Chain A
Amino acid sequence: MMTWRWAIRDLLRHPTRSALSLLGVAVAAALLLDMVMLSGGIERSFGELLRSRGYQLRISPLGTLPFDTEATLGDVTALTVALRRDPAVREVAPVLGSTMQGAHGAIAASLVTYGVTPTSQGIYTLESGRDLTATDTVGILLSVPAATRLGAAVGDTVSLRGRLDPQMANAGAERRVLVRGIVRFLYDAREQPSVAVALAAAQRLGGPDLTDRASVLMVRIDEASDLTAVTARLRAAHADVAVNSIDDLVAQFRLRLTYFRQLSLILGSISLVVTVLLVGTLLAITVNERSGEIATLRAIGVARMNIARQVLVQGLLLSVLGGAAGMVLGLGTARWLDAILTSFPGLPAAISFFVAEPAPLAIAAATLLLTGVLAGLPSAWRAASTPIAAALRSDAP
């Protein structure tokens, strides 16, 4: 039998009907694709972001996640030395986060200030200018939003004030710093005005409360080491801090995103149901209309199996064409939906809710095709069971 050619011509026989069905399947497929991308997209995106600078572990105050609260780690110097003693640890990058007041000329702004060890940091990438050096305690790096708010550029001098005392109406410490470069902070939200200075400078600006303290320690271990074993070892050795691997953090993140996973599951299922209904209805009506043709085919000796296959191929064709259009449509709508969801306050700008990965996409496509075939099964069965003589007799004039 000339199955595919026949199925294509059959679709073309009723162009409006077929076009609408294809459009319906396309929209359902687009929704399915989006939901598949959403279901694990943000986790993958978050995991990739955390892994982007090669630090596999994060150490934060016990009971907290990195930068989730204002709690800080104490005796950071000693802790860093102790961590480096572990044979698997290659690098420890302390980061102190606090809010400080920045000023450039008459312009003042609240700035998220990171204290970093310039030679081993995993929170920013340089965009322009130059990075801080290990001994640079008078340099500062600005994010684009911070530079915009302060009206400052590379080479300008800005002042930074920490340990603000509202009752005394003054700042406990102030430091004039030179803008060395413009950087992109990996974990910043959109339009977040952030700056980076040397850790020691940030600690001094924070006053006695922040002496030898850090918000998080980022730890890079030997690639060849067993991450699980190292994590367990560090946890045992440092029971007073929280040691989290990226997978642990992603798991915590996943808990907070249960809603999106469930929503994607529900909407994905609905889109499959819509596909089943559309394809199923179209095929049921097609089989009804074609009962005379089917009876003819049976009369001239076409096997039941081939009749059923012909109907299934038509369902498959609808799914393939609708699915292909749906993939294109889905990528467009994913960008639209992503733009909405990434406007969540405080969410790192680098995170994406909708991530197109080959494996999930292949699963979505296979599910869609299988759905198309399954939707056609009842009609295929009915077509294969057409009573030949009765159908030929009752066929329209």
Chain B
Amino acid sequence: MTIVLDARDLERRHALEGSEVTALRGVSLQVEEGEYVAIVGPSGSGKSTLLTLLGGLDLPSSGSVAILGASLSALPDRALTRLRLERIGFVFQRFHLLPVLTARENVELPMAEMGVAPDARRARAAELLAYVGLADRSGHRPTQLSGGEMQRVAIARALANRPAILLADEPTGELDAATGREILALFRRLHADGTTLVVVTHDERVTSEASRVVRMLDGRIVD
């Protein structure tokens, strides 16, 4: 099996009011293609910090992260940004859709950045919105969508450039139970379709659906 993500001995220290706080200590994690990994742990355990390092949103104080063999620390910012665009999909707890753009435009955004032709990206956005069940809401702005719909648009956006891995940070954290279930069902479908998933969550339902569960405590993987 191909190793999509390979993190070794990750440490992340933050300066905080004159002292230093260690958020991650010696974390290593490998994710294979098609795997569905759930990272769980209490607040402050370092799981979100780990996700930002895995996604190249932040760089570790020490250790390394590689996506499909490319070491993130070794990449210049431009290449790292490009790698995020092409290889990684992000889903955030607070959706982080752009309020001035419609659902379709939000989904088109990563493709536009990739330089995909307008017609092609419009077609792909329509396909993705249909996939997440929002074909009829493509012209709506985020403020006109419910929380669950916004998260589904965010998932469609994350899939726009056919990433090698999809990273999700508390994807059901802002949603009610029923809507959370819909999102989890969507993740299940994504997994079934072959998408590699790493989900940071408090939601115990995710652990029952994931192919592997990684538990964290005090900045370390404990299980």
Contacts and interface: CB of A to CB of B under 8 A. Distances in A.
A296 B92 contact: yes
Contacts of A301: 81-86, 88, 110, 113, 161
Interface in A1-29: 1-2, 6, 9-10, 12-13
B42 interface: no
Interface stretch (B2-10, B27-35, B97-105, B184-192): B97-105
Given A296-B96, A397-B94, A303 B101 contact: no
B82 A388 contact: no
A104 interface: no
A299 B99 CA distance: 16
Nearest to B100: A9
B133 to A, nearest CB: 21
A395 B96 contact: yes
Interface residues of A, number: 27
A13 B81 contact: no
Contacts of B94: 292, 395, 397
A278 to B, nearest CB: 21
A106 interface: no
B81 A304 contact: yes
Interface in B186-201: none
Given A1-B112, A300-B90, A301-B84, A389 B52 contact: yes
Interface of B: 48-49, 52, 55, 57-58, 77-78, 81-86, 88-90, 92, 94, 96, 98-101, 105, 108-110, 112-113, 157-158, 161
11 contacts: A1-B113, A292-B94, A293-B98, A295-B96, A297-B109, A300-B89, A302-B109, A304-B78, A389-B49, A389-B57, A392-B57
Contacts of A302: 81, 85, 109-110, 113
Given A1-B112, A6-B100, A301-B161, 20 more contacts: A1-B113, A9-B100, A293-B98, A296-B92, A298-B57, A300-B84, A300-B109, A300-B110, A300-B113, A301-B82, A301-B83, A301-B110, A303-B81, A303-B113, A306-B113, A387-B58, A388-B52, A389-B57, A392-B57, A395-B94
A387 to B, nearest CB: 8
Given A299-B90, A302-B85, A2 B58 contact: no
A67 B85 CA distance: 76
Closest 3 CB pairs of A and B: A301-B85, A9-B100, A296-B96
Contacts of A388: 52, 57-58
Contacts of A395: 94, 96
Nearest to B51: A389
B92 A392 contact: yes
Contacts of B88: 301
Interface of B is mostly: helix
Given A302-B81, A302-B85, A303-B81, A2 B98 contact: no
B143 to A, nearest CB: 11
Query: Which of A10, A297, A298, A301 has the largest count of B CB atoms less than 10 A from its CB?
Result: A301
B100 A10 contact: yes
A302 B96 CA distance: 14
A12 B141 CA distance: 14
A387 B52 CA distance: 12
Contact of A299 (B48, B55, B78, B82): B55
B84 A304 contact: no
Contact of B84 (A13, A299, A306): A299
B93 to A, nearest CB: 9
Contact of A9 (B82, B85, B90, B101): B101
A153 to B, nearest CB: 70
A1 to B, nearest CB: 5
A296 B100 contact: no
A389 B121 CA distance: 28
Nearest to B58: A389
A295 B158 CA distance: 15
A292 B96 contact: yes
Contacts of B90: 299-300
Interface in A359-397: 387-389, 392-393, 395, 397
Contacts of B113: 1, 300-303, 306
A243 B94 CA distance: 81
Nearest to B48: A393
B57 A1 contact: no
Query: Which of B96, B112, B158 has the largest count of A CB atoms less than 10 A from its CB?
Result: B96
